[in-house]
Amino acid sequence: MKRRTFLKGLAGVLAARGPMTASPGADLSSRPTAPPAFPPARAATRGPKHHFFGYYDKTPWDHTGRYLLAMEVDFIGRDPRPGEAVTVGMVDLKQENRFLPLDTTTAWSWQQGTMLQWLGSAPDREIIYNTLDKNRYVSVVRDVHHGRTRRLPRPVYDVSLDGKQALTLDFERVNRLRPGYGYVALPERLKHDPAPHDAGIYWMDLATGNHRQLLSIAWAARNQPLPEFENAHHWFNHLKFNPSGTRFLFLHRWRRLDKGSFRTRLYTADRDGGNVRLLSRSPLVSHFDWRDDETILVWTATEDNNPHFFLVNDRTGTCEIVGQNTLTADGHCSYSPDRKWILLDTYPDRQRRQRLFLYRPADAARIDLGDFAANPKLTGASRCDLHPRWNRDGTRICFDGSFEPTRQMYIVDVPEPLRSTS
pLDDT per residue over 150-169, tens digit each? 999 999 999 999 999 999 99
Burial of residue 89 (number of CB atoms within 10 Å: 0-12, 13-18, 19+):
buried
Whether 344 maps to a domain, the answer reads: yes
pLDDT for the residue 175: 97
Contact present, 301 and 334 (Cβ < 8 Å) = no
Q: What is the spatial distance between Cα 222 and Cα 208, in angstroms, rounded to a whole number?
A: 33
Q: How confident is the model at residue 29 (pLDDT cuts 50, 70, 90)?
A: very low
Taking 50 as the threshold, does the pLDDT of residue 112 lie above it? yes
pLDDT for the residue 372: 97
pLDDT for the residue 8: 45
Q: What is the spatial distance between Cα 16 and Cα 12, in angstroms, rounded to a whole number?
A: 6
What integer is the mean pLDDT of 263-285? 95
- What is the rounded average pLDDT for all residues in the chain? 91
Give the count of alpha carbons within 13 A of 144, CB side only: 28
Whether 125 maps to a domain, the answer reads: no
Whether 394 maps to a domain, the answer reads: yes
> Which domain CATH number covers 350?
2.120.10.30
Q: How confident is the model at residue 27 (pLDDT cuts 50, 70, 90)?
A: very low
Whether 139 maps to a domain, the answer reads: no
pLDDT for the residue 86: 98
Whether 341 maps to a domain, the answer reads: yes
Whether 305 maps to a domain, the answer reads: no
Whether 10 maps to a domain, the answer reads: no
Q: In the chain, what percentage of residues exceed pLDDT 90?
A: 85
Query: b vs e for 134-153, b when ≥16 Cβ sit within 10 Å of the residue's Cβ?
Result: eeebbbbbbebeeeeeeebe
pLDDT for the residue 11: 43
Whether 52 maps to a domain, the answer reads: no
pLDDT per residue over 277-305, tens digit each? 999 888 999 999 999 999 999 999 988 88
Range of the domain at 399: 323-422
pLDDT per residue over 372-413, tens digit each? 999 999 999 999 999 999 999 999 999 999 999 999 999 999
5 φ, ψ to 5°? Answer: -65, -40
Beta-strand ranges (E) seen in 217-261 are: 232-241, 247-256
Q: How many domains does the chain have?
A: 1
Amino acid symbol at 177: L
pLDDT per residue over 191-200, tens digit each? 999 999 999 9
Better-scored residue on pLDDT, 180 or 33: 180
pLDDT per residue over 312-349, tens digit each? 999 999 999 999 999 999 999 999 999 999 999 999 99
Taking 90 as the threshold, does the pLDDT of residue 12 lie above it? no
Give which of 73, 76, 81, 53 is closest to 184, Cα–Cα: 81
Lowest mean pLDDT among 27-31, 44-48, 115-119: 27-31
DSSP class of 188:
-
CA 63 to chain CA centroid, nearest Å: 20
pLDDT for the residue 1: 38
Taking 80 as the threshold, does the pLDDT of residue 122 lie above it? yes
pLDDT for the residue 120: 97
